[in-house]
Amino acid sequence: MNKKLNEALALSPAELFALLPPNRVGDTDRRYMNEVLDAGFRNTIDPAGIHQRLEAAFAQRFGTGYAIQHNSGTGTMHTCLLAAGIGPGDEVIVPPLTAVSTAVVVVQCGAVPVFADIDPETYNMNPSDVARKITPHTRAIIPVSLYGLPPDYDPLMALAETHGLVVIEDNAECFLATYKGRMVGTIGHAASYSFQASKHMTSGGDGGMVITNDKEYARNIRKRGALGVRTLGATPGDTFVPRDVRQDYEFERHDVMGYNYRMSAVQAALALAQIERLDALVAARIYIAGQYAQVIEEEGCDWLITPVVPEGSTHSYWTYVCRLDTERAGVSWRDFRSAFIENGGDGLYSAWRPVHLEPVFRDLAFYGRPEQAPNFDPRYQGKVKSYQTGDCPVCEAVQPFLCQFKTSMQTLDRVEVQVAALRKTIRQVASR
């Protein structure tokens, strides 16, 4: 399953980084792009067959039956929910520490997002709080592999089984990690990936993919992301409609509501090149995380609380996230960030604000007026009418202290600058 990743991890740093083009565009990326450009563009079909090749390569690397390309890792989750039949009157449980997309897609379906608090150590969705938040209206859970670490799937899947819930993995930040020997992405009913610029692999800024083993679900997901075209199938080969049929005035095309979330052929060319070197891309992030960890250990720094990786899980380190113990360090989060930047650090992101406290959720600013929010839909008889401070106390307490160190550097020189900046900052803070 992860033989190729282990081989990449066994390389020397110089050998590993030699596999990565410094600006993330290599000869293979250019070759596939040129294949698309040389084949040109026609009305509907993909002359270079690039979508088919990308989907086949992605499904193969993750060991799933089907992969459906999308234009983002947000559209992916919207189509997964729609294809699972989620709509007005339903609740979907999501974590509060995530990109807003994980919750927004629920509202886009006319359903109500319910936030389950996080685990104080891993920062992932806490299965015990998920259990507490299940109601007769709950239809789905979207667990997020936050920062590249899988959540505790066994209890989540057990809850899903008991209550008949659909599980959609949000793996925007998690490529090739494993949970108890299983590839993350193959545990829930479907899994969503993002190729947005900051992610392990990119398709030129934006892009996404859904994987699943369920053929009918895959077919529905593709239809929901392609205007509900009736004749689309799970695999590109299933989509052919004889010319005399599709050109006829009686040909009915659309049998369900769908959106246009298709990826362009140009994006697909880049994604295909990147999936081919995904193992090296992930191995580089794991190596960089190890460098930060080594500095923190060597400096005996006990006020940067390093990521916890539970036994049985592996981490793919979209970023390396530490909790700053400001009392022990004697420095505020903002002063720590300023010092890191002064010492050559390339910015330092906080965690996102808890999603339930973002103004869009707090003010129910979904449609024209707050009362038009799905939370007030007469079909919805649940208790969650609004979102406020105190809904997820663990997340609210931890979020202001998280520091995301970048792991996206593609050259060893740049890695060294960041790691040196961290070492210098730790020494400075310690000597105050």
Asked if 383 is an active-site residue, the reply is no
Out of 151, 188, 204, 208, the residue judged to bind ligand PLP by CB under 6 A: 208
Q: How many helices (H) and strands (E) does the chain have?
A: 17, 12
Residue list 74-93, contact with ligand PLP (CB under 6 A): 74
| The binder of ligand PLP chosen from 69, 79, 98, 122 (CB under 6 A) | 98
Region of 48-56, 69-77, 222-230, 329-337 interacting with ligand PLP (CB under 6 A): 69-77
Of the two residues 264 and 343, which places its CB atom closer to ligand PLP in the complex? Answer: 264
Q: CA–CA separation, 200 vs 176, rounded Å?
A: 10
Give the interface size with ligand PLP as a residue count (CB under 6 A): 15
Question: Binding mask 17-46 vs ligand PLP (x if CB under 6 A, - otherwise)?
Answer: ------------------------------
Binding ligand PLP by CB under 6 A: which of 64, 69, 79, 102? Answer: 102
Contact residue for ligand PLP among 36, 57, 99, 429 (CB under 6 A): 99
DSSP state of 206: -
Q: Candidates 7-15, 67-75, 120-128, 378-386: pick the segment binding ligand PLP (CB under 6 A).
A: 67-75
**Cβ-closest residue to ligand PLP?**
73
Minimum distance between the CB of residue 282 and ligand PLP, rounded to whole angstroms? Answer: 16
Q: How far is the CB of 76 from ligand PLP (least distance, A)?
A: 8
The two three-digit tokens of residue 310, written as one number: 């539970």
Nearest to 198 by CA among 347, 9, 67, 96: 347
Give the DSSP H/E element, type plus range, for residue 405: strand 402-406
Can residue 264 be called a binding residue for ligand PLP (CB under 6 A)? no
Stretch touching ligand PLP by CB under 6 A, among 95-103, 112-120, 153-161, 177-185: 95-103
Q: 156 near 127, Cβ under 8 Å?
A: yes
Q: Phi/psi class of residue 175: alpha, beta or left (left: φ > 0; alpha: ψ in -120 to 50)?
A: beta
Q: What is the largest CA-CA distance in the chain?
A: 79
Q: Which of 4, 133, 180, 199 is catalytic?
A: 199
The CB-based long-range contact list for 340-345 (8 Å cut-off, 24+ gap) reads 340/421, 340/422, 340/425, 343/420, 343/421, 343/424, 343/425, 343/428, 344/417, 344/418, 344/420, 344/421, 344/424, 345/418, 345/421, 345/422, 345/425
- 401: closest CA among 346, 307, 343, 332? 332
Tokens found for residue 280: 């090296």
Residues of this chain that interact with ligand PLP (CB under 6 A) are: 72-74, 98-99, 101-102, 144, 170, 172-173, 194, 196, 206, 208
Q: Catalytic site residues?
A: 199
